Structure 1
């Protein structure tokens, strides 16, 4: 098995979920005592979050590129970024390393198309929902029509991510907020919903949603393991 390099820490709560999923899928695929060979580099989310608020995507790209280079020097054969939002600067990562980089939207887009979904709702940070780096890739590569919540719902989704989930706080009241937002997307014609922030998997499970759930964290981790196994 090849070695998966993970840029984590955004937040560490979801990065720990990545670690669990990588190893669980490796064991499912290979059996016995197998784990996924991996390296995890945890960045300091405080500086990342500050640069996000400031809109300094150039600095963020440099931070992600530096982390990717460290992973490659450490022996990573593949690099993944354990966050949806920071894929805004994925090109900086790709240009900084010689090993492959697995974009988080690609396993999700492929899974949606395989399921016959054409119109999908997207939940994530305000950056992911409002900027085009994510929805554009889904449209251009997978032909998906992506719906995002209205402004008030986007504010609620974003606030819960940063103020609660990034700190490990999983509240029933916030789950009900997300369920309401998903219902609004369904009413607008969404056939499924993307959990487009790696923390949302801590709050919303398939049984919590009126729409089929496509969890980017789980799909990304599974695709990385499949690549590392190489079959």
Structure 2
């Protein structure tokens, strides 16, 4: 088994989901008491948001690359970033990494292809929805990405950073997020919805309206376990 390195803390709630999820998926696939070795670098999410808000991409790459190098120094044999937003600069970080890295975007793209989806909605932080790193990866394989309207994007972002990031789950917020998804189905004809923030599955925990909600955290975890055990 390969030792797993995770840049976590982005945010803390989803890092817990990564740890538990990796252990649970591993136990479903392997017999006995063995578990993978996992090294977590819990980074400061406020610093991440400062760098992204300022579009300070060079310093963001430096900041993330240093943490990947620290994971490698601690014994990790491959690394992941347990968050969607930092994947804005994933390729640049990967190019400076001394160990292989698995992209949450690429793994989600593979899953969408396997499900024969062709037009996906994307929700997440405003940085994820405003950037084109999901669009580029999916466009290359013939899948369109649709984002919500500007006011909807701001609502989603505000709820993520003021509630969901802190583990605060309100039914009123869930219903409003679902209404945004329903509008995108009706008006944009999406055939799936990417939960492009690793905290979103805490509030949108199942498929709705007859379309799949792609849980990027769970998809990433499946790929991490596959790579760990050599599949």
Say whether the fold is shared (TM-score over 0.5).
yes
Task: Give 1:194 shift.
Answer: 0.6
Q: Counterpart of 1:87? A: 87
* Contact residue 6 and residue 41 of structure 1 kept, 8 A: yes
Q: What does the per-residue CA deviation read over 1:79-134, in whole Å, with 9 as the maximum and x for residues that have no partner?
A: 10000000011123212222111011111111111111111111111111111122
* Contact residue 120 and residue 193 of structure 1 kept, 8 A: yes
* Stretches of 4+ aligned residues off by more than 4 angstroms: 207-210
Q: Counterpart of 1:174? A: 173
Q: What does the per-residue CA deviation read over 1:47-72, in whole Å, with 9 as the maximum and x for residues that have no partner?
A: 22222222222211111000000001
SS at match of 1:10: coil
**What is the alpha-carbon distance in structure 2 between the residues aligned to residue 33 and residue 158 of structure 1?**
40
SS at match of 1:39: strand
Unaligned runs of 5+ in 1: none
Task: Give 1:208 shift.
Answer: 4.8
RMSD: 1.3
Q: Counterpart of 2:114? A: 114
**What is the alpha-carbon distance in structure 1 between the residues aligned to residue 190 and residue 6 of structure 2?**
31
Q: Counterpart of 2:149? A: 150
Q: Normalising by the residue count of structure 2, what TM-score does the alignment of the two structures yield?
A: 0.95
Task: Give 1:207 shift.
Answer: 4.4
SS at match of 1:40: strand
Task: Give 1:209 shift.
Answer: 5.3
Q: Normalising by the residue count of structure 1, what TM-score does the alignment of the two structures yield?
A: 0.95
Q: Counterpart of 1:28? A: 28
**What is the alpha-carbon distance in structure 1 between the residues aligned to residue 184 and residue 3 of structure 2?**
38
Q: Counterpart of 2:221? A: 221
The total of aligned residue pairs comes to 230
SS at match of 2:29: helix
Task: Give 1:210 shift.
Answer: 4.6
Task: Give 1:165 shift.
Answer: 1.2
**What is the alpha-carbon distance in structure 1 between the residues aligned to residue 159 and residue 178 of structure 2?**
13
SS at match of 2:168: coil
Q: Counterpart of 2:139? A: 139
Q: Counterpart of 2:198? A: 198
Q: What does the per-residue CA deviation read over 1:22-63, in whole Å, with 9 as the maximum and x for residues that have no partner?
A: 111111110332323211000111222222222222211111
